Amino acid sequence: MSFASKINQASVGTNRRDLLKVIAGVSATTMVPGIVLAQTANKVSMKIAITLPDTHPTPVALKAACAEILKESNGRLSIDVYSSGQLGSDTDTLSQVRSGAIDFVCTAGSIYGNLIPVAAINSIAFAFPDYATVWKAMDGDLGAHMKAAFDKANLVQVGKAFDHGFRQITHSTKPITSPKDMVGMKIRVPATPLWTSMFKALDAAPASVPIGELYTALQTKVVDGQENALPTIDAVKLYEVQKYCSYTSHMWEYFSLVGNKRNWNALPEDLRALATRIFEAHAVKQRAAHDALNATLETKLKGQGMQFNKVDTKPFRDILQKSTYYVDWQKKFGTEAWALLEKYSGKLA
């Protein structure tokens, strides 16, 4: 029986309040976007939104994973990747995933942190000295704690985290060599208090600009500089509008595939297991690809005119220690999450 037929039948001899209950009940069982109708033909189509361009290792990995899922499921599960912000900004698409209009978003922990604070705890300044520490934490107890937090927002994190790299500071007119170079610097940061608080503690002037508008903001001098990992600097062609890149490695960031829990749970269990296994395998491949690309990019970006310098990060860390930065974030994240972070990072606050 169609949705309209059920409502027409229910409306006979039913008052308005009862009728609304019927409509709500029918909607709840028939209107999971894109899932129920597709399953009637034993096939499901889903969407992933990501703002990174196709040339970045993360969309490359997602598309390869989706092609493998389509093949191994014998066409039962088709997942399309919409890159370069085709479906909206990070915050827009996360909202659409929460409503179920889009099935998945793949974005940064800093974006998820606006909704689920602990999802961004990895980005505490200077928490991780190297990748060995990063992956012990993210594939260990800290990552498990972060992953569990998505459930409370009716979201589900699928597979392992993708590498989004240690972040470096770029500037249009000068290298960053010491904290005094940060004073008054108009620097683009993601739309999250974690970034804003760090750069304010360093006396910079942080401004939130969506990644899709970053190039123009730098080109028009709305901001003087920005901070991202080298693969992002390359993929967004920031070398055309930034001359100096300073190795600060002040934060490490991840991207994670996160889905609408109801849409995800509507999939047959075997398809969920298949997709999880394949996405995890390609996340591991992405990490290797990101690392290999990162190793070649200084030479490539130098060829595009960028100049690089190494930075002694101790003076930056000392300023943050003397400020309330670490103490404030310890309180916000809570003792349990902070203890898990310090299990890998060592004492921060």
Q: What is the pLDDT of residues 64-106, one digit of tens each?
A: 999 999 999 999 999 999 999 999 999 999 999 999 999 999 9
Number of H-type helices and E-type strands within the chain? 16, 12
Integer CA distances (angstroms), 71 to 57, 79, 137, 265, 278, in order:
21, 11, 33, 21, 11
From 207, 176, 204, select the one nearest 190 (Cα to Cα): 207
pTM over 0.85: no
| Poorest-pLDDT segment among 96-100, 124-128, 191-195, 220-224 | 191-195
Q: What letter would DSSP give residue 117?
A: G
Please give the average per-residue pLDDT across 175-197, as a whole number.
94
Pairing of β 252-260 and β 155-157: antiparallel
- Burial status of residue 68 (CB atoms within 10 A of its CB: 0-12, 13-18, 19 or more): middle
Q: What is the pLDDT of residues 138-180, one digit of tens each?
A: 999 999 999 999 999 999 999 999 999 999 999 999 999 999 9
Q: What is the pLDDT of residues 222-259, one digit of tens each?
A: 999 999 999 999 989 999 999 999 999 999 999 999 99
Q: CA 254, CA 56: separation in Å to the nearest integer? A: 13
What's the one-letter identity of residue 98?
R
Domains present along the chain, CATH in parentheses? 3-164+254-294 (3.40.190.170), 166-252+296-344 (3.40.190.170)
Count CA atoms closer than 13 A to 105's CA, side-chain side: 27
Whole-number mean pLDDT of the chain?
90
Gap between the terminal Cα atoms of the chain: 62
Reply yes or no on whether the pLDDT at 3 is more than 70. no
The tokens of 151 are what?
Answer: 């459930």
Q: CA 57, CA 71: separation in Å to the nearest integer? A: 21
Cα-only R_g, the chain: 22
Q: Which residue's structure tokens are 């609408």?
A: 260
Integer CA distances (angstroms), 35 to 39, 225, 268, 279, in order:
6, 43, 11, 20
pLDDT tier, 41 (very low <50, low <70, confident <90, very high otherwise): low
Reply yes or no on whether the pLDDT at 198 is more than 90. yes
Reply yes or no on whether the pLDDT at 23 is more than 70. no
User: What pLDDT does residue 35 have?
Assistant: 53
Q: What letter would DSSP give residue 160?
A: P
Q: What is the pLDDT of residues 207-227, one digit of tens each?
A: 999 888 999 999 999 999 999
